[in-house]
Amino acid sequence: MTAPLRWRVAHLAAVRPETPSARTLVLQVPDWPGHLAGQHLDVRLTAEDGYTAQRSYSLAAPADGDRIELTVQRVIDGEVSPYLIDTFAVGNPVEVRGPVGGWFVWQPTQPDPVLLIAGGSGIVPLMAMVRARRAAGSRAPFRLIYSARTPAEVLYTAELHRPQPGDGGLDVRFVYTRQTASSRPPGRITAYDIASAGWPVDFRPRCFVCGPTGFVETVADILVGLGHDPRQVRTERFGPTGGPDG
- The residues binding another protein (CB under 8 A) are 1-5, 7, 9, 44-56, 79, 83, 87-89, 92-95, 100-104, 213, 217, 220-221, 223-224, 230-231, 233-235, 237, 239-246
Complex with another protein: residue 87 or 183, whichever CB lies closer: 87
Q: Which is nearer to another protein, 6 or 162 (CB)?
A: 6
Cβ distance to another protein smaller for residue 180 or 213: 213
- Our CB check for another protein shows the closer of 84 and 170 to be 84
For 187: left if phi > 0, alpha if psi spans -120 to 50, otherwise beta; the answer is left
Smallest gap from Cβ 221 to another protein, in A, equals 7
- Residues 6 or more apart whose CB falls under 8 angstroms from that of 221 comprise none
Report, in Å, the least distance between residue 239 CB and another protein.
8
Q: What is the DSSP string of the chain?
A: -PPP---EEEEEEEEEEEETTEEEEEEE-TT-----BT-EEEEEEE-TTS-EEEEEEEB-S--BTTEEEEEEEPPTT-SSHHIIIII--TT-EEEEEEEE-SSS-B-TT--S-EEEEEEGGGHHHHHHHHHHHHHHT----EEEEEEESSGGG-TTHHHHHSPPTT-TTEEEEEEESSS-BTTBPS-S--HHHHHHHS--GGG--EEEEEESHHHHHHHHHHHHHHT--GGGEEEEE-SS--S---
Q: Output the smallest distance, CB 109 to another protein, in A.
A: 18
Of 11 and 67, which CB lies nearer to another protein in the complex structure? 11
Task: Name the minimum Å distance from CB 134 to another protein.
Answer: 26
**CB 235 to another protein: min, Å:** 6
Q: Would you say 205 and 232 are in contact if contact means Cβ atoms under 8 Å apart?
A: yes
Q: Which is nearer to another protein, 71 or 174 (CB)?
A: 71
The distance of closest approach from Cβ of residue 104 to another protein in the complex, given in angstroms and rounded to an integer, is 7
CB of 30 to another protein, least distance (A): 13
Q: How many CA atoms lie within 13 A of 130 on its CB side?
A: 27
**Nearer to another protein (CB atom), residue 30 or residue 102:** 102
